[in-house]
Chain A
Amino acid sequence: GQQLNQSPQSMFIQEGEDVSMNCTSSSIFNTWLWYKQDPGEGPVLLIALYKAGELTSNGRLTAQFGITRKDSFLNISASIPSDVGIYFCAGLTKGYGNKLVFGAGTILRVKS
């Protein structure tokens, strides 16, 4: 079945550093979404990508939809303590009934 491979699984970074995480798949997706989830809460949408090659920013966050439509990355610039949490990529494609498929998440911990 479809699967999203998200990396890294976890990371410690120094406050102020830039962060990069990515998501890859053997399947093609029409939409990529990036979510952040805090403990005990539902995922919160950060960025949505709809076209191959698209680069979209939301404040300190930048995400790109890979040209092959099989991958996406998320960058966080100048990280701050409130960036701590779990970041999930999710893909959407008609081939799977337009239901979101999630990666396993990247745990971000920031050293203040």
Chain B
Amino acid sequence: DTGVSQNPRHKITKRGQNVTFRCDPISEHNRLYWYRQTLGQGPEFLTYFQNEAQLEKSRLLSDRFSAERPKGSFSTLEIQRTEQGDSAMYLCASSFEWGTGSNTEAFFGQGTRLTVV
């Protein structure tokens, strides 16, 4: 296992188009997170999954955003009707929760850089 993998690394799209990103977490990790990062800022939480269940969504995640993790392995993040304000780095991270509320460290992928023109 080589760590968290995100595809594509870069995406340029026209405003109004739909885009989908994929994240493959570390194989034994049951938690998967999506974050968004804009220039000069730290990553901002969007949503996370425990196995296939989406447990929390940030208010940053508008109705145009949807995330899935259908089999508890890889996850997709879709943005519909993209806007220029959606331009950012989208980061995925994974970790393992022991079930006692304790997590291992979260490891990040290399991110998908989205540019909406």
Chain A interface residues (CB < 8 Å from chain B): 4, 6, 30-31, 33, 35, 40-45, 48, 88, 90, 92, 94, 97-105
A45 and B106 in contact (CB under 8 A), knowing A40-B113, A99-B56, A100-B93? yes
Task: Answer yes or no: B101 CB below 8 A from chain A CBs.
Answer: yes
When the two chains form the complex, which single residue of B40, B45, B97, B110 contacts A42, counting CB atoms closer than 8 Å?
B110
- The answer to whether B105 and A97 touch across the interface, beta carbons within 8 angstroms, is no
Closest to B91 in A: A42
Q: Which residues of B does A touch, CB under 8 Å?
A: 4, 6, 31, 33, 35, 40-45, 48, 55-56, 91, 93, 97, 101-103, 105-111, 113
B97 touches A48 (CB 8 A): no
What's the Cα separation between A91 and B105 when bound, in Å? 11
B42 with A98: CB separation less than 8 A: no
